[in-house]
Amino acid sequence: NPVIRELAPNVPKALPSELVRRLVFNVGVVEVKHTLKYLVNNGLLIQNEDGSYSQTEKSISTGNRDIASAALRNYHHQMGSVALETLNAVPVEERNLSNLILGVIKTAYAKILEEMAEFRRKVVAIATEEDGIDRVYAMNLQFFPLTHKNTSNPKRKKENK
């Protein structure tokens, strides 16, 4: 769980019960213990001699569009569910959820994906320019179709003004 990966290095000794207490969504102590073990075994965290944790990399991203594994799809599903939980669990002034519904053509789609990738890079740079954290946030960038392709006439009608 990436949330535990971000949180554990910032909690002295990172006791699973303390990590669970700091989360705004429901997860059990046993699951956090398993997550910590998984993160260490897979090289995402290092457990130090004093029991604390350190990250092996300052940031990780699922921004690579070529990765389409079942694990990644499951992760995106879980993060979507967590986002829904925050609607009631986190005050509006401590979160930001926004939405756009747009009509686009294939070339605009490609340009938007490029802009999203650049935006992710900028956000990571801002988040990692200083050491330490006071909170873990998730940013889900999603851009998906809501309709089937229009094969007849993809040109948008312009309004006369």
Question: Which amino acid appears at position 80 of this protein?
Answer: G
End-to-end CA distance of the chain: 52
The single-letter DSSP state of residue 106 is H
d(CA 159, CA 157): 6
Phi, psi of 158 (to 5 degrees): -90, 140
Place of tokens 């926004």: 98
The single-letter DSSP state of residue 120 is H
Residues 6+ apart with CB under 8 A from 134: none
Min mean pLDDT across 127-131, 135-139, 142-146, 151-155 is at 151-155
Tell me if 27 sits within 8 A of 16, measured CB to CB.
no
User: What is the tens place of the pLDDT at every residue in 78-128?
Assistant: 888 888 888 888 898 998 888 898 899 999 999 999 999 999 999 999 998
User: What is the tens place of the pLDDT at every residue in 29-80?
Assistant: 999 999 999 999 988 899 999 989 999 887 776 655 555 566 677 777 788 8
